[in-house]
Amino acid sequence: MNISHQNSSTNQEEHFDSIVIGAGMSGLAAAIRLAMAGQSVTVLEQHSIAGGLNSYYRRGKRKLDVGLHAMTNFMEQGQKGKPLGKILKQLRLRYGQLKLSPQKSSLIHFPNQKLCFSNQIEKLQADIAQTFPDQKENFEQLLEFVDHFNETDLNHQFIPASQHLSQIITDPLLLNMLMTPLLLYGSANQDEMDLAQFVIMFKSIYLEGFMRPEGGVRTIIQLLLDRLDSLGVKIRYRTKVQAILKSEEHVTGVLLQSEDVILANKIYSSIGSLESEQLADLPLRSRPGALSFVETIFHFEQRPSDSGADQTIIFYNDRPKFQYHCPATLFDPSSAVVCFPNNFEQDDGPEGVIRITFIANYQLWSKLSKNDYLNAKEQVKMAALATIKQVAPNFSATPIFTDTFTPMTIERYTGHIGGAVYGSPDKWRDGTTELAGLFLTGTDQGFLGIVGSLLSGISIANLHGISRD
């Protein structure tokens, strides 16, 4: 839809220095930074609550998180030079407010091999030395390579990680095992990953590790909302942007679904690159993402650790090689992320919980009739229970509550085309678009996950909103 500001028929007009589209992690962080710099900012969110891909909901008495398995980038209080420390400093938050609990340990579970890792890299090193003794030095070389790599270079061009790293880790099985959690937690490319993204994820997951805030994702969202409130920034919920307005080659504002117009010189869009290009009627330079997921959440009266299942996250794969691509079926149960939210150092959950995530095919889900959709969700649930049997054979409790969300749920609540959780395979690291004044934050700027998207919002606001003003 090509709507220039001059041509649009309007109800009301307001003016801000900056508009942020989307109240996910990156949008909230960007809005805080812009407001801290003294700008007038408004945040527009189509949904009725904040959080985006990392949100929450309630079913009866139960509070559920949507996205959160674990936060990456664990750091101890006072550690210097860590991404989480940078976020806290930039947003003026205190470490203690997050009430973080580190993971116990996690597992990469392949048919004939397993590798265990924790927030201490020595554990993974020791496991590799025992399971792949001839790769011990290769892994040390990989650690050195990662240490020297400048993954935050905004001009970085795509380099296929597996090809590059096969010169360092020469055992294909070990390389495939090491890449499995990194692909599942942050690659928008099928069966491959950008080298810079590999390094970001390697540091986030293996060198720093997993943690969980007490109370789940609500704790982080509430801190961000309180911060915005203290800066006088208003979030408008149930406010969908239907077009990004422009005059010649510069943004002028947005047209809302209500037909109201809000004017601004700069717009920070966290909704995705293709989604933003469509709203601004720009040539479509970003490819749609192909990776979506189904997730089933089970609640139990018992805790999995009572039956010996004490890992925090299990990256499960039952094929000789892990396949990270859109399946030809509704979902692919041959691999899964199995998350045990009770298995962090502090267990604040009132019930036992297991979350099972499978890679899914959006196109097939989108064609189902209502009845077939419900049946398909039941199939997902049965497959998820079968996966629990594989990874936690002694845990035989019957679920007291189950909920499943699909690619359709993700698309409906977050607006990501195709339910593509990691967005487009094309990332725009400097946050610029073809339209002056329109910037990307979050998923398609290229920093993923909770910590990544917070950092993205901060960096893009600093780069385009603050330092040049």
Ligand X SMILES: Cc1cc2nc3c(=O)[nH]c(=O)nc-3n(C[C@H](O)[C@H](O)[C@H](O)COP(=O)(O)OP(=O)(O)OC[C@H]3O[C@@H](n4cnc5c(N)ncnc54)[C@H](O)[C@@H]3O)c2cc1C
Nearer to ligand X, 187 or 453 (CB): 453
Nearer to ligand X, 95 or 145 (CB): 95
Phi, psi of 213 (to 5 degrees): -75, 145
**Ramachandran sector of residue 84 (left: φ over 0; alpha: ψ -120 to 50; beta: rest):** alpha
Cα gap 465→457, rounded to integer Å: 11
Q: Binding to ligand X by residue 448, rule CB under 6 A? A: yes
Q: Binding to ligand X by residue 216, rule CB under 6 A? A: no
Cα gap 336→357, rounded to integer Å: 5
Q: Binding to ligand X by residue 41, rule CB under 6 A? A: no
Q: Binding to ligand X by residue 31, rule CB under 6 A? A: no
Q: What is the dihedral of CA 441, 444, 448, 452, to 10 degrees?
A: -30
Q: Binding to ligand X by residue 414, rule CB under 6 A? A: yes
Q: Binding to ligand X by residue 240, rule CB under 6 A? A: yes
- Secondary structure of residue 452 in the 3-state scheme: helix
Nearer to ligand X, 24 or 465 (CB): 24
Q: Binding to ligand X by residue 3, rule CB under 6 A? A: no
Choice from 20, 35, 44, 397 touching ligand X (CB under 6 A) = 44
**Burial of 254: CB neighbours in 10 Å, binned 0-12, 13-18, 19+:** buried
Cα gap 85→99, rounded to integer Å: 14
Choice from 205, 241, 255, 392 touching ligand X (CB under 6 A) = 241
CA angle 270, 282, 192 (to 5 degrees): 60
Q: Least distance (Å) from ligand X to the CB of residue 423?
A: 8
Question: Contact at 8 Å (CB) between 186 and 71?
Answer: no
Q: Binding to ligand X by residue 52, rule CB under 6 A? A: yes
Nearer to ligand X, 66 or 169 (CB): 66
Q: Name the DSSP letter for residue 422.
A: T
Q: Least distance (Å) from ligand X to the CB of residue 320?
A: 26
Q: Least distance (Å) from ligand X to the CB of residue 202?
A: 15
Question: Contact at 8 Å (CB) between 95 and 213?
Answer: no
Q: Binding to ligand X by residue 184, rule CB under 6 A? A: no
Query: Which region, judged by CB under 6 A, interacts with ligand X, from 45-53, 174-182, 296-304, 360-368?
Result: 45-53
Q: Binding to ligand X by residue 312, rule CB under 6 A? A: no
Choice from 18, 24, 184, 409 touching ligand X (CB under 6 A) = 24
Q: Binding to ligand X by residue 72, rule CB under 6 A? A: yes
Residue 113: CB atoms within 10 A of its CB come to 13
Cα gap 135→379, rounded to integer Å: 40
Q: Binding to ligand X by residue 429, rule CB under 6 A? A: no
Choice from 22, 83, 181, 418 touching ligand X (CB under 6 A) = 22
Q: Binding to ligand X by residue 450, rule CB under 6 A? A: yes
- Of residues 338-397, which lie at the interface with ligand X (CB under 6 A)? 357
Q: Binding to ligand X by residue 68, rule CB under 6 A? A: yes
Beta strands in 22-88 (DSSP E): 41-44, 56-59, 62-65
Q: Least distance (Å) from ligand X to the CB of residue 135?
A: 28
Nearer to ligand X, 26 or 101 (CB): 26
Cα gap 305→392, rounded to integer Å: 9
Query: In this structure, what token pair is assigned to residue 349?
Result: 């959950």
Question: Under 8 Å CB-to-CB from 229, ≥6 apart: which residues?
Answer: none
Nearer to ligand X, 125 or 462 (CB): 462
Query: Which region, judged by CB under 6 A, interacts with ligand X, from 91-99, 297-305, 393-401, 409-417?
Result: 409-417
Nearer to ligand X, 24 or 102 (CB): 24
Size of the site for ligand X (CB under 6 A): 38
Question: Under 8 Å CB-to-CB from 328, ≥6 apart: which residues?
Answer: 361
Cα gap 133→150, rounded to integer Å: 29
CA 277 from chain center: how many Å? 21
Nearer to ligand X, 44 or 376 (CB): 44
The interaxial angle of helices 25-36 and 83-91, nearest 10 deg, is 50
Q: Binding to ligand X by residue 295, rule CB under 6 A? A: yes
Nearer to ligand X, 33 or 132 (CB): 33
Query: Which region, judged by CB under 6 A, interacts with ligand X, from 10-18, 22-30, 138-146, 189-197?
Result: 22-30
Nearer to ligand X, 415 or 418 (CB): 415
Q: Which value, in Å, is the radius of gyration of the alpha carbons in the chain?
A: 22
Q: Which of 290, 241, 269 is nearest to 420 (CA)?
A: 290
Relative to beta strand 211-213, strand 100-102 is antiparallel
Q: Which residues on adjacent β-strands are paired with residue 61?
A: none
Query: Which region, judged by CB under 6 A, interacts with ligand X, from 89-97, 102-110, 161-169, 413-421?
Result: 413-421
Residues that bind ligand X (CB under 6 A): 21-27, 44-47, 52-54, 67-72, 240-241, 270-271, 293, 295, 357, 410, 414-416, 421, 442-443, 448-450, 453
